[in-house]
Structure 1
Amino acid sequence: MRFGRRGLASIYAEIRDGILPAANRISTATRTDAIAATPRSYRVTALIIACALFMEQMDATVLATALPTMARDFGVPATSMSSALTSYLLALAIFIPASGVLADKFGSRAIFRAAILIFVGGSLLCGQATSLPFMMVARFVQGLGGAMMIPIGRLVLLRSVAKEDMVSAMSWLIMPALIGPIMGPPVGGLIVTYLDWRWIFWLNLPVGLLGVVLVTRYIGEVRGERPVRFDFAGFVLSGVSLGCLLFGFEMSSRPGEFVDALVLIAIGLVAGIGYIAHARRRSDPILDLSLLRYTSFRLSLIGGSLTRVTQGAQPFLLPMMLQLGFGMTAAASGAITVAGAIGSLAMKGLAPRILRRFGFRRSLIVGGLGASLGYAICGAFRPDWPIPAIFAVLMSAGFFMSFQFSAYNTIAYDEVPKTRMSAATSFYATFQQLMLSLGICVGAAALHMGMLGTGRTRPELGDFTLAFLVVTAVSMSATIWNMRFAADAGADMSGHRARA
């Protein structure tokens, strides 16, 4: 597939602000032994970072297909496996803001290499898991590595490649971000059906060790000229708040754990209030709440957060619905769920033209309604539906949802000064991961609500219908915030000029 320079730039912006955030806290850097950014070396650098991104993307998408089988082996209800997804995303939300400061203090290569090793170590722990709590801890370790691995990989590329070579370097980097979600579901289905789900994690070992060797050989050490003072108190308060709130909300839907959930939620609220008070007194908090004064950033954060609730729930609900409700094998469900990723890929080249023609406001309103409608229809899927019809609905939903993310990730920074761009990407990326985690919690809670009415321990199709309707109602509410964008919002970015 060929991308024009505007299309490629748009894809890079999405990866930069969504998947690879928060590592460029200092715009200038010193290179102690960095290789020169020659035409050959920047491709090598980009491919090494791309391999890390591919490993992370594949792991995330493969796992969703394996959840029902893992639940059976652990002897827990399939809906409880949401914790395995949530613990990873929670680690990302907690540690992504710290990644840039660590890279500036200890060097990009050292932290990038350590992040790969931590991710691989977490993968090996996942492969040895014999219970859900074991898996949750192992996934959290994995998330700690992922939180540093991808943002710092981006930092290495930005600081090692000349500006005139950046678009070419991005073309090497973005393909894993596009291919990983497409390959993940069918590969996961094949592994679960014909091998053992543990191979999902063991396959990361050779890729990760090769990455460490290549990083040591080809990636230069890059540090910031003046390392930023680390906001340790803010890091602890925000981490405690996010962790307690997320797991509290998830536990609240489980029988017999409501009191414990309330305690966690209360601790999370207290820690959150403490962080707000702390952030107001500090000039460089780890999550800068003053960024919410910028209208485009605030609206994009709120609308994008509501949309990501649905996007977080969908990879959890759909494979489980196809396997438990339809009786499909993991391989068959993986072959179907890949449709959303294909729709997302088809959108990439069209996003700049759509935004240029209609502007951000109208595009976000229509795209949000289209994505919500598509995922609402997923709740109506039944075993007698033709497979091509299911595939088409999922492709359409993936197309619109991916467009929403591209637009939100761009318009968010329309009014943010360059001097505050690093803090903005850190704040935005943290909430992205947080809301994806919350989406899983909401989807799992909705499933439990449907099951509690009849006392069932295994969800049926009607329970999945309820869950899809609940999460799509959340993303539908983003329309209220999308309508608050000005008609000419982001015109300099999109090239759109609203008619008087």
Structure 2
Amino acid sequence: MSGYRAIALTASIPVFMQYLDATAITTALPAIAADLRVAPIDLNVAILAYQLALVVFIPLGGVLANRIGARNAFIASLLLFMVGAVASAMAWSLGTLVAARALQGIGGAIMIPVSRLLVLRSAERHELISAMNWLVIPGIVGPLIGPALGGFLVSYASWHMIFLVNLPMALLGVVMSLWLVPDRRDEEGEAFDARGTVIVAILIVSLVIGLSGVTGQVAPAVTIATLLVSVATALLYLRHHRRAEAPIIDLTLWAIPSFRLSMLSGTLIRCLFGAHAFLLPLWFQLAMGFEAAKTGVMLAAGTVGVLVSRLVGGPLIARSHPRSVSVGGGIVFALSLLGTAFLRADLPLPLFYLLIFGQGFGLALAMLVIGPAAYVEVPAERMAAATGFYSTVQQLTLSLGVITGVWSLAAMRWLTHATPYDNRAYAGSMLLLALLALGAVMLNRRFEPDAIVSLRPVRAARGD
């Protein structure tokens, strides 16, 4: 194995670890909450702490890649992720867990843009889908076993173990990086926009805290103050962007049509994914009464759907237009969410597996096109800026997804006067998510056919 495949396989290790970590912890939320003596819904703070750290520190990944080399930055991120995982396993309160998850998120933040940049720099445009598959498919094993592993560890061992299972993989990533990834650097480097980084960090943190406070988890005065701060810092960054030589988030990329549509559609889909991934484990365990192990096995069906979509997506794109594939995937995702809204504990389990499989299959099939479509019209010299921008928004939307899940659940509980153990609140939330998913389908239809047709394999494109 050589070329982009070897690099993508190495870069997939942090993808594996992050998805394993994220999916395992969602299954373990009720057990962690019971041990730390907090309400399960309150643990969204620990999830948000990790995701906020990802968003805030993602720009650091690009800076380190330019200053010390992408390979060295990649190795440093793996080691930092390991330290955060050990600290999370040792947490004894909600506060210590939040702090440890934030530290782990900093390591993950460096991983994300650096791993993507390593792959993008090693592949030609017509190899992008193949390269992204090599990056994502091994990482799919993480969410495939994550829910089941988290459920079994909670049921038969301890929730602390879900953070420690990543340590061997992180060490493997360090060895493979030293062996397979060339130590290439940008000798000239890029100017680091320190002021812009601080402004964006304040903007993101204040926005997420303010939005999460809308449901009453934060004092009303704090909610209003943070929302006002987010508006003020957004305006401040717009002013800074006009003057900065190399802004940390290059807003001029928004003028590129395929990049803009990929950002809009991908943001909505990832937000819905974050919401349903947060709600389903709570629904199945708290309202339907399923055990953690059983819940984990059922949720793994979604990752099987993701894996199948990655295996059949390439041939589908070779035989049909990429836009049609993204639209079809969005429709499957929306219909699967709609079907989930009608689930009850007394229904046959195969129906659960089928709908969860459909959610994973449809989402991944749509993203198979939407993700690479962001870069098809981006000039090579702006690729690093595009990956940093895209990665930042990508992680922010996952945080907003958790908030969306909390919002929808709170709204449905208010409308139906339901308790946290009532099916009606969760079913109504899924119905709302399904309606929003139709918006992503409409956005996917707006991709310019001539722009994203270049994502098709070379042989298929020549046959047009």
- Global fold match (TM > 0.5): yes
Q: Decide whether aligned partners of structure 1 residues 196 and 393 sit closer, same or farther in structure 2, where only a CA change above 3 A counts.
A: same
1:309·1:475 contact (CA, 8 Å) conserved in 2?
no
Counterparts of 2:369 and 2:123, CA distance in 1: 26
- 1:473–1:227 CA distance, 2 compared to 1 (3 A): same
8 Å CA contact retained: 1:159, 1:222: no
1:113 to 70, 75, 92: 75
Cα distance in 1, alignment partners of residues 297 and 167 from structure 2: 25
Q: Mind listing any 5+ residue stretches in structure 2 that lack a counterpart? A: none
1:190 aligns with 2:168: no
Specify which of 476, 491, 495 is matched with residue 438 of structure 2: 476
* Equivalent residue for 2:225, pick from 235, 257, 263: 263
Change (3 A) 1:435 1:169: closer
Note closer, same or farther for the CA distance 1:109–1:479 as it changes in structure 2 (3 Å cut): closer
Cα distance, 1:235 vs structure 2: 0.7
Counterpart Cα distance in 2 of 1:51 and 1:42:
15
Aligned residue number for residue 243 of structure 1: 205
Q: Does the C-alpha gap of structure 1 residues 459 and 246 become closer, same or farther in structure 2, counting only changes over 3 Å?
A: farther
Partner of 2:185, secondary structure, is strand
The 1-side partners of 2:67 and 2:143 are apart by 33
**Alpha-carbon distance between aligned partners in 2 of 1:317 and 1:261, rounded to the nearest angstrom:** 23
Residue 104 of structure 1 contacts residue 222 of structure 1 at CA under 8 Å; is this kept in 2?
no
Moved more, 365-374 or 313-322: 365-374
Q: In the alignment, what sits opposite 1:13?
A: none
Residue among 122, 144, 147 paired with 2:109: 147
Match of residue 422, structure 1, among 384, 393, 406: 384
Check 1:52–1:302 CA distance in 2 against 1; reply closer, same or farther (3 A cut).
Answer: closer
The aligned counterpart of 1:93 is 55
Closer, same or farther: CA 410–253 of 1 in aligned 2, 3 Å? same
| Whole-angstrom distance in 1 between the partners of 2:180 and 2:449 | 47
Q: 1:109 to 1:483 in 2, by over 3 A?
A: closer
- The equivalent of 2:273 in structure 1 is 311
AA matched with 2:139: A
Per the alignment, do residues 319 and 384 of structure 1 end up closer, same or farther by CA in structure 2, a change over 3 Å counting?
A: same
Corresponding position of 1:272: 234
Aligned-pair CA distance for 1:356: 4.3
Q: 1:301 aligns with which of 237, 245, 263?
A: 263
The match for 1:347 among 301, 309, 313 is 309
| Aligned residue identity for 1:121 | V
CA distance in 1, matches of 2:40, 2:162: 18
Question: For the Cα contact (< 8 Å) 1:359–1:489, is it kept in 2?
Answer: no
State how 1:321-400 maps to structure 2 within 5 Å. Answer: 321-400=283-362
Whether contact under 8 Å (1:344, 1:401) holds in the other structure is yes
Q: How far has the Cα of 1:361 moved from its partner? A: 3.6
Q: Choose from 28, 33, 53 the match for 1:71.
A: 33
Counterpart for residue 4 of structure 1: none
Structure 1 counterpart of 2:411: 449
Whole-Å separation in 2 of the counterparts to 1:46 and 1:456: 47
One-letter code of the match for 1:302?
A: L
CA distance in 1, matches of 2:123, 2:331: 40
1:171 and 1:483 map into 2 onto residues whose CA distance is: 23
Report the Cα distance in structure 2 between the residues aligned to 1:118 and 1:158, rounded to whole angstroms.
24
How many Å apart are 1:84 and its aligned residue? Answer: 1.9
Matched AA of 1:467? S
Shift of 1:203: 2.7
**TM-score, normalized by length of structure 1?**
0.83
Match of 2:46 among 80, 84, 87: 84
Partners of 2:6 and 2:359 lie apart in 1 by 35
Cα contact 1:77–1:458 (8 A) shared by 2: no
Output the CA distance in 1 between the equivalents of 2:368 and 2:241: 29
- How much does 1:276 deviate? 1.6
| Residue 299 to residue 167, structure 1, CA distance change in 2 (3 Å) | closer
CA distance in 1, matches of 2:304, 2:334: 18
- Comparing 280-289 and 230-239, the one that deviates more: 280-289
State how far apart, in whole Å, the 1-side matches of 2:257 and 2:214 are: 34
Query: 1:293-331: CA deviations, max 9, x gaps?
Result: 112211221122111111111211111111111111110
- CA offset digits 1:331-373 (Å, max 9, x no partner): 0000000111111111113223433444244433333222112
Distance across 2 between alignment mates of 1:99 and 1:320: 33
Instruction: Report the CA distance shift for 1:150/1:477 in structure 2 as closer, same or farther (over 3 A).
Output: closer
Check 1:256–1:306 CA distance in 2 against 1; reply closer, same or farther (3 A cut).
Answer: closer
| Number of residue-to-residue matches in the alignment | 459
* TM-score, reference length from structure 2: 0.89
Structure-2 separation of matches of 1:256 and 1:192: 29
Instruction: Give yes or no for contact 1:79–1:447 (8 Å, CA) kept in 2.
Output: no
SS in 2 for 1:239: helix
Task: Give the C-alpha shift of residue 42 in structure 1.
Answer: 9.2
Structure 1 349/473 Cα, relative in aligned 2: closer, same or farther at 3 Å? same
Structure 1 residues 51 and 321, CA gap change in structure 2 (3 angstroms): same
What one-letter code is carried by the residue in structure 2 that aligns with 1:138? A
Task: Look up the SS of the partner of 2:202 in the other structure.
Answer: helix
- Using the TM superposition, give the Cα deviation of residue 421 of structure 1 relative to its aligned residue in structure 2, in angstroms: 2.2
Structure 1 position 132, deviation (Å) = 2.2
Identity over the aligned pairs, expressed in percent? 35
CA distance in 1, matches of 2:355, 2:129: 33
Pair 1:159–1:363, CA change in 2 (3 A): closer
1:489–1:210 Cα change, 3 Å: closer
Q: Greater share of helix residues, 1 or 2?
A: 2
